[in-house]
């Protein structure tokens, strides 16, 4: 006998189905394309690798907060993005809670207690080529694991075991590498083999790497399991620490068990400044980025950038003149605040920055040799990684993390399966001599035992009217600061959505050499001719920055910006 459904029952069933569809739809995540500015309400993760972004969004969907997702992403990147993602490096985190609480975590690497000021100089006092770049002596004491433990203990919601498991799974079962990664690993085959005579999972001994080749890292999985089981002690003590020290002895490195045991991540007060109607929350020293970012914004604030237009000749001229002066300050005044009294009040004073721009002449470029003194041989790089995360409640995390150069020192810890950094090159090896990024430092950034080296990394969060507005950061060596700066003004001054602001072509000046580095098609031909006529030397180069950012719109939705210059991927739900 056929059963008749009453009209009221039909209505209840229909409503139930509609509600179920709505709930299901709200839980579905979407991976955005390279030029997609799609918007989501519940959460968003933007990282340098699609697998890492998937890990982060799954943690959010399981009820984790932005810090839980950040910890999971950091460890996942150590697996799937080994050229910069890491457990053998360090980084910076800027955090903003949904209630507006802000904090900054410094998990930058440190010099060994055995490090010395002149350790990379020859008998004549000149830097020994590549000694601070490659091999065991280039490595500083890693900070990433301590940083993630510290962040999770203070703000995490899910268990430590839960946030580590995705990275373990990726290392143990493997993941498909991208076309870009296959090319990189094939190109570095010889160098990885020369430094790691015992072999490494990153070297394919059977054939060349191909797009979608499966990369399995069993040793790294075992290291991650120890960190999962024992927390900080799983890395800085016991078997992993023994492996690091043994690796140091093999290559005459300096890091000891005591160096590892003594390492601490440090909570610091964020640098806070204003630009137009926005509050900028950014990283303090040992990052040079935060102070420099505020200086740049204050330097250009009096000028009508919006009226001039994006990358118009007047806009470029003002920005270049600001960058010239700010980078001169960076080289002179900044270093580890635990070792050197960093002058923050003066460079963050808007009147100081206006005064610095007072000798700017519209008729011609200011010669950089008239802006303080220094010699910088320019070399750019993009060997770092950044990720931005916002959760359902509005907590936000901005993390930039690195091994310094791509694949760091190229040393893979035997038995540990992870790369060590080459961050010692970020010290002033010899005050006045440039590092691998062409940046120079003075006495404030000279090598000393247990000291943190200066960095350009600039993780940043922006507020508007007391509410979250933007989470932003990028890799890029000396171009980090200018790339974050240009992304911010692209949104605030030029009304771009997040994806357009990230993808927009960039330019960069770093005081000396007295050259403006430009991405292809960043500046139109007429503006180019006007700038050249005023004495600006324009140098075209490859990609500048790889910004990963999130914008919170006035409607409360989250808008992604994943840089098309790399494999960067945004996922929202």
Three-class SS string for 229-260?
Answer: HHCCHHHHCHHHHHHHHHHHHHCCCCCCHHHH
Mean pLDDT of the chain: 91
CB under 8 A, 24+ apart: contacts of 526-532: 526/313, 527/311, 527/312, 527/313, 527/316, 528/313, 530/313, 531/313, 531/316, 531/317
Confidence bin at 447 (pLDDT 50/70/90): very high
Per-residue pLDDT at 269: 98
Distance CA 561, CA 549 (A): 5
Per-residue pLDDT at 66: 99
Residue 126: CB atoms within 10 Å: 12
More confident residue, 397 or 513: 397
Q: What is the pLDDT of residues 62-89, one digit of tens each?
A: 999 999 999 999 999 999 999 999 999 9
User: What 3-state class would DSSP assign to 490?
Assistant: helix
Contact (CB, 8 A) for 394 and 557? no
Per-residue pLDDT at 78: 99
More confident residue, 207 or 100: 100
* Mean local confidence (pLDDT), 266-276: 98
Q: What is the pLDDT of residues 330-354, one digit of tens each?
A: 866 677 888 867 778 888 899 999 9
Q: Give the residue from 299, 295, 291 showing the smallest Cα distance to 343.
A: 291
Catalytic hit among 47, 223, 384, 402: 384
Confidence bin at 308 (pLDDT 50/70/90): very high
Per-residue pLDDT at 332: 65
Residue 384 a catalytic site member: yes
Residue 1 has pLDDT above 50, yes or no: no
Q: pLDDT above 70 covers what percent of the chain? A: 89
* Mean local confidence (pLDDT), 30-40: 72
* Domain definitions of the chain by residue range: 66-267+409-427
Confidence bin at 138 (pLDDT 50/70/90): very high
Per-residue pLDDT at 13: 46
Residue 102: CB atoms within 10 Å: 17
Per-residue pLDDT at 339: 85
Q: What is the pLDDT of residues 372-412, one digit of tens each?
A: 633 333 333 457 999 999 999 999 999 999 999 999 999 99
Per-residue pLDDT at 372: 60
Q: What is the pLDDT of residues 519-530, one digit of tens each?
A: 999 999 999 999
Look up the pTM and report it: 0.92
Residue 267 has pLDDT above 60, yes or no: yes
Per-residue pLDDT at 331: 65
């Amino acid at each position: 006998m056929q059963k008749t459904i009453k009209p009221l029952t039909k209505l209840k069933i229909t409503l139930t189905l509609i509600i179920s569809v709505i709930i299901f739809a709200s839980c579905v995540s979407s991976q955005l394309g390279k030029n997609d500015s799609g918007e989501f309400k519940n959460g968003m993760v933007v990282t340098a690798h699609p697998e890492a972004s998937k890990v982060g969004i799954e943690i959010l969907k399981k009820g984790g907060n932005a810090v839980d997702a950040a910890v999971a992403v950091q460890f996942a990147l150590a697996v799937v993005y080994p050229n910069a993602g890491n457990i053998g490096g360090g980084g910076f985190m800027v955090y903003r809670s949904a209630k507006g609480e802000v904090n900054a975590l410094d998990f930058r690497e440190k010099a060994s207690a055995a490090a010395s000021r002149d350790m990379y100089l020859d008998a004549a006092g000149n830097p020994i080529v590549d000694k601070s770049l490659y091999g065991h002596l280039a490595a500083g004491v890693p900070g990433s694991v301590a940083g993630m433990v510290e962040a999770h203990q203070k703000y995490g919601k899910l268990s430590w075991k839960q946030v580590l498991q995705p990275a373990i799974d990726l290392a143990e079962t493997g993941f498909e590498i991208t076309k870009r990664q296959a090319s990189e690993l094939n190109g570095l085959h010889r160098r990885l083999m020369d430094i790691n005579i015992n072999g490494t999972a990153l070297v394919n001994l059977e054939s060349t790497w191909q797009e979608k080749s499966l990369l399995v890292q069993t040793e790294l999985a075992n290291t991650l399991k120890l960190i999962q089981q024992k927390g900080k002690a799983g890395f800085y003590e016991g078997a992993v620490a023994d492996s690091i020290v043994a690796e140091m002895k093999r290559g005459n490195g300096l890091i000891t068990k005591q160096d590892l045991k003594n390492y601490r991540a440090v909570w610091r007060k964020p640098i806070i400044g204003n630009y137009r109607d926005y509050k900028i929350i950014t990283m303090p020293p040992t990052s040079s980025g935060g102070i420099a970012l505020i200086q740049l914004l204050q330097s250009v604030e009096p000028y009508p950038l919006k009226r001039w237009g994006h990358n118009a000749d007047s806009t470029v001229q003002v920005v270049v003149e600001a960058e010239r002066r700010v980078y001169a300050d960076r080289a002179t005044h900044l270093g580890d605040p635990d070792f050197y009294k960093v002058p923050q009040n003066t460079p963050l004073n808007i009147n100081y920055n206006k005064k610095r721009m007072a000798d700017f002449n519209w008729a011609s470029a200011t010669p950089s040799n008239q802006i303080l003194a220094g010699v910088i041989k320019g070399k750019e790089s993009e060997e770092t990684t950044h990720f931005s995360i916002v959760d359902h409640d509005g907590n936000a995390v901005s993390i930039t993390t690195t091994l310094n150069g791509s694949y760091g020192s190229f040393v893979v810890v035997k038995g540990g399966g992870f790369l060590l950094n080459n961050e010692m090159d970020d010290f002033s090896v010899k005050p006045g001599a440039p590092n691998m990024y062409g940046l120079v430092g003075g006495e404030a950034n000279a090598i000393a035992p247990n000291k943190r080296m200066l960095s350009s990394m600039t993780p940043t969060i922006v507020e508007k009217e007391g509410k979250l507005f933007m989470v932003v950061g990028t890799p890029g060596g000396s171009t980090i600061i200018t790339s974050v700066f240009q992304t911010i003004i692209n949104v605030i001054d030029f009304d771009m959505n997040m994806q357009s602001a990230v993808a927009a072509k960039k330019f960069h000046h770093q005081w000396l050499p007295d050259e403006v580095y430009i991405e292809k098609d960043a500046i139109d031909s007429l503006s180019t001719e006007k700038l050249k006529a005023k004495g600006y030397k324009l140098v075209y180069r490859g990609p500048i920055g790889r910004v990963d950012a999130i914008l919170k719109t006035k409607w409360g939705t989250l808008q992604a910006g994943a840089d098309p210059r790399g494999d960067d991927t945004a996922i929202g739900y």
